[in-house]
Structure 1
Amino acid sequence: MAAASKCERFNGLLVSHDINEIYEWNRRVCQGQIRRRSPCHSQEHGLPFRGKFLKRRRRAQSSDKEIKHEIAVLILCEGEENIVNLNAVHETRSDTALLLELATGGELQTILDNEECLTEPGRHCMREPQNILLAGERIEDGLKLCDFGISRVVCEGINVREMPAHPTTWPRGAPVQPLSLLTDIWSVGVLTYVLLSGFSPFGGDTKQETFLNISQCALTFPDNLFGGVSPVAIDFIRRALRIKPNDRMSAAGCWNMSG
């Protein structure tokens, strides 16, 4: 989408009215400097959305650039079935509120908290990255992706080199390679391990031990956690968690193995 078209789309989403005049809030829960998503209903249409409130200043610095980046990614993804839709943007002097499609099933993490791990029939969850919402009460009802605040757009001819926010999503000690689809394959491998076992693949008793496990890619598959997991699933994890990006299987390879 051209820059001019994105600006026009952003202006079309921006609503000047007070958000409380249009939406009725069921609850607002604060966590740190980002207020968590909360269900809300339009007073005019009665349609449910969820509101994501973002502080426009964090640590005495403007965060408008990061917020507009997240909005731009959502605009680029408009019309994708498995990505939450952005319905409107409200700005105040202190906050920017994103009015997003409500995935009624809540977060996939809730199922993990209740059941500790998923069985292999739930492997279609691995067709999507993390930040996964359930479209309904069951996994079979479909999945939605959300939260693109730290996502990056990878363009041909432009190198982006950044360390991910969470240490387990990157092999510590490895050279920081330009971001690519292969960067995400490491995260897919970590998430698959967690979903099938309920544990981190590199978790140690201390941070230092965890970082050492990550840098050495020290993978183990203990029988008490993986006794009922197929060799194909274990091979999937091994082929995703390789230090050198070019040694990992491609996104297409992940798709084929999880089919």
Structure 2
Amino acid sequence: MSDLDEDYTIIKEINQGNSAIVFLAEGLEDHKQFAVKNITKAHILESPQNILSLISEIEVMRKISHPHLMTLHKVYESNSTISLVMDFLPAGDFFQRLQHKHRFPESLSAKLMTNLLDALFYLHSNHIIHRDLKPENILMISKDNDYDFKICDFGLSCINKDVQFLQCGSPGYIAPEILNRQSYTNKVDIFSAGVILYIMLSGYSPFIGKDIDDVLMKNKECKIRVNKKPWNKVSELGIDFVKRLMNPDPNCRLSAEEALRHLWIVKYRSDYLDLVGISATMDVGLS
């Protein structure tokens, strides 16, 4: 479609990056608010990889439908831009939430991880790898809720049943097999989820360095330390879960389905079921 202005009123700019500007817009018919991501064609045409990334992002987002994944509603094209109309989530991203909260209790961390892993299980079941999972790409639904969100930014995602080789991701969240230039599978997303959980439980990153190269080196070495404060306040099950998600060997790393059945997840899901009056002795499977 080409007539964005006939369907939406642009209200204001809400974010800007190197290649795109995100606007708050309102539908002229339903008066609902949306985020419109305007991507300049000049940037897209700078390299074949930029073209492939945009095509992949649109292809993936048209394929998915899940409560914890960003929805792509419409795509418009003008002479100078491609516009993606998506959900508008004004509560900020999870990185901002981490900066404000610093650390999360295990019960709350388990709720968020259950939702995150459920979304990854859905993606992986549909042969989709996100490849850039990090707190900045998790948009919160509410300011009063710390575990409901939507994963966004599918620019590095791919749909493929085979192993992958493209090196991509964000320093500090990249699975070691990518940094070692090895082939990889959807378990790279599980490693990134493990890094997010590590930060939630400890309040700091597992890979701290003086610059990006130093961070990448430590990320590649993947020496996970859980032997100092505040890890002494984290349960053995919680520590075991972090280690299994961040195992440097992808063959030993949990899948999304296996992670959802880990005892740490089951324990806190059972506690939640008890709170809402459902028997915790029921079979706890995938949501």
- When the two structures are superposed, what TM-score results if normalisation uses the length of structure 1? 0.81
- Residues in 2 aligned to 1:174 and 1:180: alpha-carbon distance in whole angstroms: 13
Match of 1:53 among 38, 41, 45: 38
Q: 2:57 is matched with which residue?
A: 70
The residue aligned with 2:84 is 98
CA-based RMSD of the aligned residues comes to 2.4
Counterpart in 2 of 1:147?
A: 153
| 3-state SS in 2 of match to 1:87 | strand
Aligned match of 1:253: 258
Determine the C-alpha separation between the residues in 2 that align with 1:224 and 1:99: 44
Inter-CA distance 49–237: structure 2 relative to 1 (3 Å threshold): same
Q: Deviation of residue 94 (structure 1)?
A: 2.1
Alpha-carbon offset, residue 209 of structure 1: 4.0
Q: After superposition, what is the alpha-carbon deviation per residue over 1:172-219, rounded to whole angstroms, capped at 9, x for unaligned? A: 786433332222221121111122223210112344543443333222
CA contact (8 A) 2:165 2:178 kept: no
| Alpha-carbon spacing, 1:76–1:83, altered in 2? closer, same or farther (3 Å) | same
Q: Is the alpha carbon distance of 1:185 and 1:89 closer, same or farther for their aligned partners in structure 2, counting shifts above 3 Å?
A: same
Distance 1:84 1:173, change over 3 A: closer
Given candidates 201, 205, 211, the residue that maps to 1:200 is 205
1:23 aligns with 2:8: yes
Q: Is the 8 A contact 1:163 1:170 kept in 2?
A: no
Q: Which residue of 1 aligns with 2:102?
A: 116
Aligned residues: 240
The answer to whether the 8 A contact 1:57-1:64 is kept is no
Distance in 1, Cα, partners of 2:175 & 2:52: 25
Q: Deviations over 1:15-68 (max 9, x none)?
A: 221x23332223213222222x33321122211111112222327336343212
What is the one-letter code of the residue matched to 1:191? I
Query: Unaligned stretches of 5+ in structure 2?
Result: 117-132, 267-287
1:119-160 residue CA offsets vs partner (Å, 9 max, x unmatched): 2222222232542222223336732221111011131xx332
Kindly provide the amino acid, as one letter, of the partner of residue 171 in structure 2.
P
Does 1:177 pair with 2:182? yes
Contact 2:2–2:78 (CA under 8 A) maintained in structure 1:
no
CA distance in 2, matches of 1:216, 1:85: 36
Contact 1:122 1:139 in 2 (8 A): no
2:170 corresponds to: 166
Distance 2:52 2:178 in 1: 30
Of 205-214 and 232-241, deviating more is 205-214
CA-to-aligned-CA distance 1:75-125 (integer Å, 9 cap, x gap):
110x32222221111112222111012234332222112112322222222
Matches within 5 A, 1:82-93: 82-93=68-79
Whether contact under 8 Å (2:177, 2:183) holds in the other structure is no
Identity %: 23
Return the alpha-carbon distance in structure 1 between the equivalents of residues 54 and 217 of structure 2. 34
Aligned AA (1:226): W
**Do 1:108 and 1:133's aligned partners in 2 also have CA atoms closer than 8 Å?**
yes
CA separation of 1:68/1:228 partners in 2, compared to 1, >3 Å: closer, same or farther?
same
Map of 1:205-216 to 2, 5 A cutoff?
A: 205-216=210-221
- The TM-score with structure 2 as length reference comes to 0.74
